[in-house]
Each structure stands twice: as structure tokens, then as C-alpha cells.
Amino acid sequence: MNQQSPNEPGQIAAFLHEKGWDDVEAAVILGSGLGDFTDRIQQAETIPYDEIPGMHGTSVVGHKGALYRGIVGGKQILAFAGRFHRYEGYTLDQTLLPVRIAGEMGARSIFISNAAGGINLRFSVGDLMLIDDLLNPGSVLFTTSDGREFFRYKPDHWVERAKNVACRLGISIQQGTYLYAQGPSYETPAEIRAFRIMGGDSVGMSTAPELLEALRLGMDPFGISLITNKAAGITKAKLDHSEIKEAAEMRKKDFADLIEGLIEF
């Protein structure tokens, strides 16, 4: 896998502009199992990732691997059904490509979703968690080499709007800190106990770098976790990918309603 050339997102945006994909106001990155959000898009147009020069396919089960464009909540949006994870062997640049394309296309708001394990003992499978803070043990992304803080994710305005939308539509939501683990394997029970003491509420292998990159690009990002399983060691159940589909089936309508409400706001 090659390092992304710095102007690749720009070239992809130029390719999309040639197809008449202009005036994008918001973007959504759909986590595993959440691809059905694309059914909400009116006047939808779509291009499989592997037909976009400079873009790669996605191999994770539950990801469609296609880019959509159309109207949601009265606004022109881009939706990425499928993302690229570090644990699949992609470079950090490659994992950040969807965010960078969205930025190049003019999206200001970006909603970044994921399937995640629940660390917080009060969480249940199927909970939707508004990500209000990040934990990223060992990451270089949060600070510069001299230790100064880099881009700070502080989505208070989104949390307030999301609570508003959820209350209006009768959607139950949780709120908490997303802990970024690079994978590829799920965590050990001991790691999860440690992460709980550190203040993590959900754990997953994406989203944190994307949120920070969106901030770096001057966008206004917001992250949402779908809790697809209790994190390692909480129950005796063996963790596997099929849980993601089941949890997503339970909440995909609420998820789409919430995102649509936020886009509309």
C-alpha cells in the first residue's frame, strides 16, 4: 500500500466535481452496519470506491464501499459507506482520505459514526452514544512533538443539538468518551478494566483520528458510537462481528433520524 500523495484528496474532489457533485454542505462517515443510512438520501447518486481513481476498496464485512451524494435534511451531503482502518494495513493517510475528500468538497459539518464496544457498565448493546470526548492512549495525534495540545475536540454545541433532536423524536441516547484502540484484535479484559478506570465509555478502532483531522481541516465534526457489544470481559459471550449487524438492525432507524435531524439543524 502506497503512501497517499498530498494532493490525492484534491484529485478525487476534482473527479467528483467533473461528475457535477458540487455544493456539498455536510458529510457522513458510516460505521460498520450503519450503511443503510444511505436509504435516507434523496436524489441519491453513488459511485463504488473502486471506480474512483485514487481510492481503494474496503474489505470489512458490513461496509458497502461506495460514496453517495444527495439530499438529507434539505442539504446536499456526501455519505461514505465504508472506511479504511489501520488494522486492515492502511496507512494513517489512507484512513483519513474520506475526511479529506469531504473537506475538499466543501463539507463543513461531518458526522463520523462507528460500531464500538461498551466499556461503561451502564451501557447496553444497541445504545447510541454521543462522543463528547476522546481517549487515545499513546497517540501522537493529540499533541505536537513539544507536547503542546493540537486540535481539541469539544462538540458541546453538537451534543446540545443531538439531545434536542433525540428528545423531539423520542430517541434514547447515551453520552461519553470514545477510546481509540488500533486493533486489530479486540481488547483483553484487563485492558478494558484499565480503560474504564481511565474514563473510557466506548472503545473502537476508528473515528478519533478522523475527528482530529476534520478539526485540523477547519471542519465541525461530531462522532457517534453504536454500542454493538459489551467490551471484553464484561460478559462471557464471545465477541464477533455478527453482533454488529444485530445491533445496527435494532437502531438503524434511530441513527438515521438523529443524523438527519442534526444535518437539518
Catalog residues that contact ligand HPA under the rule CB under 6 A: 115-117, 181, 186-187, 203-205, 228-229, 231, 239
**Of how many residues is the chain composed?**
265
- Per the residue annotation, which of 206, 213, 225, 231 is the catalytic one? 206
Q: How far is the CB of 242 from ligand HPA (least distance, A)?
A: 11
Q: Establish whether 17 is a catalytic residue.
A: no
Q: How far is the CB of 53 from ligand HPA (least distance, A)?
A: 30
Cα→Cα distances 172→156, 181, 205, Å: 18, 26, 24
Q: Which is nearer to ligand HPA, 16 or 203 (CB)?
A: 203
Q: Establish whether 115 is a catalytic residue.
A: yes
Contact 175, 129 (CB under 8 A): yes
Q: Which is nearer to ligand HPA, 115 or 256 (CB)?
A: 115
- Per the residue annotation, which of 26, 32, 107, 166 is the catalytic one? 32
Contact 30, 21 (CB under 8 A): no
Contact 106, 220 (CB under 8 A): no
Q: Establish whether 229 is a catalytic residue.
A: yes
Contact 73, 111 (CB under 8 A): no
Q: Establish whether 225 is a catalytic residue.
A: no
- Per the residue annotation, which of 88, 136, 139, 250 is the catalytic one? 88
Q: Establish whether 231 is a catalytic residue.
A: no
DSSP label of 2: P
DSSP label of 236: S
Q: Which is nearer to ligand HPA, 70 or 176 (CB)?
A: 176
Contact 29, 99 (CB under 8 A): yes
Q: Which is nearer to ligand HPA, 64 or 69 (CB)?
A: 64
Q: Which is nearer to ligand HPA, 55 or 115 (CB)?
A: 115
Cα→Cα distances 50→6, 58, 207, Å: 20, 9, 22
Q: How far is the CB of 126 from ligand HPA (least distance, A)?
A: 13
Q: Establish whether 81 is a catalytic residue.
A: no
- Per the residue annotation, which of 113, 114, 225, 229 is the catalytic one? 229
Task: Identify the residue whose cell numbers are 474496503.
Answer: 58
Cα→Cα distances 36→2, 119, 140, Å: 31, 26, 34
Q: Establish whether 250 is a catalytic residue.
A: no
Q: Establish whether 241 is a catalytic residue.
A: yes
Q: How far is the CB of 47 from ligand HPA (least distance, A)?
A: 27
Q: How far is the CB of 203 from ligand HPA (least distance, A)?
A: 5
Among 174, 177, 159, 176, residue whose Cα is nearest residue 262? 159
Catalytic site positions: 32, 63, 85, 87-88, 115, 205-206, 229, 241
